[in-house]
Amino acid sequence: MLRGQVRETIALKVNEIYPSIQGEGLLIGLPAVFIRLQGCNLRCPWCDQPSALSFSEGGTSFEVEQILDKVSEYKIRHVVITGGEPFAQEGLATLVKELVQRGYSVQIETNGTLWQEGLEKLENLHITCSPKWSAHWFVHPKILQNAKELKFVVDDVLSIEVLLKAQFRNFLEEGKVVLQPEGNKAVFFKKALELQRDLSELGFSVRVLPQLHKLLGLP
């Protein structure tokens, strides 16, 4: 099928597209265009993007071509696809491949429960996986094989036992784990630093990082 034909038939439900800086995780501080997709398969109690969770309400359907045009309006070469849960939109893989083909570096923010074929070992794709209690800490095997970092929200529930789970061990060993205090709250910064200390006593070093955009008053 001709490339143009594939793009015409694929549309995604978009909540918002906007420029900002990457406020979270190992790529923190990078200028980025955010593509926030609509709809999530989970419901985390403290989710800070409630308007992006419903599949039936909110969001606007855009063809891949239209999304690419919108992104090209910004002179920013890093694109963060988030949500909601991006992997819940079946056009994600096509969108990512089109962006990579155009020379963008692409990052996906995901809860890790879902996968789409065609995204294995893709150059210039950085998958950030944030495992969730609301999914009983399940992470799809293909996400574990392809993610570049794990980002855990530090709340009342997160424990060192979760962080030491076998499925997360090589991320710990490779220093690819970020602890992100829920809502930048002082109580969870304190807990994150305690977890970091306990992990370092076991020989693992993890990063404690804020949601920087919230401190800077950026979206």
Ligand X SMILES: Nc1nc2[nH]cc(C(=O)O)c2c(=O)[nH]1
22 binds ligand X (CB under 6 A): yes
156 binds ligand SAM (CB under 6 A): no
CA 85 vs CA 28, 160, 165, 217: distances in Å: 20, 25, 23, 24
Question: Residue 43 binds which one of ligand SAM, ligand X, ligand SF4, none, with CB within 5 to 8 A depending on kind?
Answer: ligand SF4
The three-state DSSP-derived secondary structure of 54-86 is: CCCCCCEEEEHHHHHHHHHCCCCCEEEEECCCH
38 binds ligand SAM (CB under 6 A): no
Instruction: Name the phi and psi angles at 33, rounded to 5.
Output: -95, 125
Count Cβ atoms within 10 A of the Cβ of residue 174 and give its class: 0-12 exposed, 13-18 middle, 19 or more buried: exposed
Report the chain's terminal Cα–Cα distance, integer Å: 39
Size, binding site for ligand SAM by CB under 6 A: 18
Q: Which residues are annotated as a binding site?
A: 21-23, 36, 40, 44, 46-48, 82, 84, 130-132, 219
76 binds ligand SF4 (CB under 6 A): no
Contacts (CB under 6 A) with ligand SF4, residues 165-204: none
- Give the interface with ligand X as residue ranges (CB under 6 A): 20-24, 49, 82, 109, 213, 218-219
- Give the interface with ligand SF4 as residue ranges (CB under 6 A): 40, 42-44, 47, 49, 53, 83-85, 111, 132
